[in-house]
A and B are shown apart, each in its own frame.
Chain A
Amino acid sequence: MCTDCGCSSTDHTHHHEHESRTIRVEEDLLAKNNRLAAGNRRLFISNQLLVLNLVSSPGSGKTSILERTLTDLKGQLNFSVLEGDQQTANDAERIAATGVPVKQINTGTGCHLDAHMIGHGVDNFDLAATDILMIENVGNLVCPASFDLGEDYKVAVLSITEGEDKPLKYAQMFQAADIMLINKIDLLPYLRFDLEQCKTYARQVNPQIAIMELSCHSGAGMQQWYDWLVRETDRKRETQGV
């Protein structure tokens, strides 16, 4: 390669008519998304809002966990929900049935939500009257890992029907997550799922990850999840206390 201009010519006698120069850019490839996410975060902080980004593979039970949470905590905490899916408004309809404000974001062929979509998605919510904004990401354990939405915590849901080695197979996601919810534990007697091994794998990719086991179907373990939500909401109000 020509060392003067980086062209692929091996003939170093070729004439350089141009004045090429190198400029430093030094910018993260996700800089644009990160800037928008920082803007979202400022908006959320000014409204003392706890924001969770729920990520998982399709069918792990994100929407079902939300439905039960919204119903059980009705009257105790005020929620708003953003639903991300490639197509359909099915999930938003399920959430709307609980009486909570919800907006569906359809990404079309897009495989993840980004900070720009969230910034516009919350336009119609009364954020000052909301305690917790739940963002249900597109069901995908790969792409949503890289895109900061401005949330406080990424919550990865893993259902035991998926196998205990998901944290190893999709390490990026479980490293980015702050919390792992192991869902469908009511099915433990019927499946060959090694719960302890699953937790070990998750901690291998992310030593700091917090883990809760629950079933939104039977209700087992849901209370510790609710306690955590209440505690974090209180903390949010205190740390930014007006």
Chain B
Amino acid sequence: MTFGHDSLHELSLTQNIVELAIENAAREDAKKILSITLEIGALAGVVAEAVEFAFDVCSKGTLAEGADLRILHIAGIGQCLDCRKEAEIETLTHVCPHCGSLALETLQGCEMKFTEMEID
């Protein structure tokens, strides 16, 4: 678990999540935020547990307090620059499983997106 090395940029991100949620809730005249759904890619460099931990702190006393935080994991997909085949990758330091090349370009997995929320 690479959790302790840094949870600070997750804290900044989570403050953004709460701000976004509150802005959108206000626009919709919501009385409560029930859930928040995020998409976080495997290669985004974001530790989901750190976001969950920070969310409790950042949402306290706001409309988002107590909301169910749903984090959807998006798999990493890379394309080999040598054999042009695609492969699922879990880290940025992957080796192409088809030809052994080290040159993989990331196609998917860097996402960090606030997709939707449920309000009351």
B68 is contacted by which of A6, A140, A146 (Cβ under 8 Å)?
A6
Chain B residue nearest in CB terms to A20: B120
- The closest CB in chain B to the CB of A169 belongs to B93
Q: Which of A21, A25, A203 contacts B115 (CB 8 A)?
A: A25
Contacts of A127-147 to chain B: CB distance below 8 A: 140, 142-143, 145-147
Consensus secondary structure, chain B interface: mixed
Contacts of B103 in A (CB 8 A): 203-204, 207
Contact partner of B6 (CB less than 8 A), chosen from A32, A111, A175, A204, is: A111
Interface range on chain A (Cβ under 8 Å from partner): 35 or more
Cβ of B56 within 8 Å of any chain A Cβ, yes or no, is no
> What residues of chain B lie closer than 8 Å to A140, measured between beta carbons?
6
Q: Are A20 and B119 in contact (CB under 8 A)?
A: yes
B75 interfacial contact with A, CB 8 Å: no
Whether B119 and A23, one on each chain, are in contact in the complex, defined by CB atoms closer than 8 angstroms, is yes
Known: A24-B115, A30-B13, A205-B92; 6 extra A-B contacts, CB below 8 A, are A6-B35, A6-B68, A8-B68, A143-B8, A171-B91, A171-B92
Across the interface, name the chain B residue whose C-beta is closest to A206: B92
In the docked arrangement, what's the CA distance between A175 and B103, Å?
12
Which among A22, A25, A27, A140 has the highest number of chain B CB atoms within 10 Å? A25
Question: Does A77 have its Cβ within 8 Å of any Cβ on chain B?
Answer: no
Residue in A19, A29, A142, A146 whose beta carbon sits within 8 Å of that of B5 in the complex: A142
Q: Nearest-CB distance from A211 to chain B (Å)?
A: 14
Q: Which single residue of chain B is at the shortest CB-CB distance from A25?
A: B114
B38 touches A29 (CB 8 A): yes
Interchain nearest-CB distance for B22 vs A (Å): 12
Contacts of A27 in B (CB 8 A): 20, 113-114
B72 at the interface (CB under 8 A from A): no
A23-B45 contact, Cβ under 8 Å, with A6-B34, A29-B38, A142-B9: no
Question: A123: CB under 8 A from chain B?
Answer: no
Complex Cα–Cα for A29 and B116 (A)? 12
- Residues of B contacting A25 in the complex (Cβ-Cβ under 8 angstroms): 20, 24, 114-117
* Nearest residue, chain A, Cβ from B14: A29
Check: B57 CB closer than 8 A to any chain A CB. Answer: no
Interface size on B, residues (CB 8 A): 39
* Contact A23 B117, CB 8 Å, known A6-B68, A175-B92: yes
Assuming the contacts A146-B9, A171-B93, asked whether A29 and B119 have C-beta atoms less than 8 A apart, the reply is no
Ordered by A's residue number, 11 sampled pairs between the chains whose C-beta atoms are within 8 Å are A5-B118, A7-B34, A18-B120, A22-B119, A23-B116, A31-B16, A111-B6, A142-B45, A172-B45, A175-B106, A200-B102
Complex contact A30–B112 (CB within 8 A): yes
Report whether A5 and B34 are in contact in the complex, using a CB–CB cutoff of 8 Å.
yes
Q: Which residues of A contact B (CB under 8 A)?
A: 5-8, 18-33, 109-112, 114, 140, 142-143, 145-147, 168, 171-172, 175, 200-201, 203-205, 207
| Min distance, Cβ B77 to any Cβ of chain A, angstroms | 15
B117 cross-chain contacts in A, Cβ below 8 A = 22-23, 25
Asked if A21 contacts B81 (CB within 8 A), the reply is no
B58 at the interface (CB under 8 A from A): no
Is B62 an interface residue, CB under 8 A from the partner?
A: no
B114 partner residues in chain A, CB cutoff 8 A: 25-29
Report yes or no: B16 in contact with A203, Cβ–Cβ below 8 A.
Answer: no
Closest 10 pairs between A and B when the two form their complex, measured CB to CB = A171-B92, A143-B9, A204-B102, A172-B45, A207-B103, A18-B120, A111-B8, A6-B35, A29-B112, A142-B6
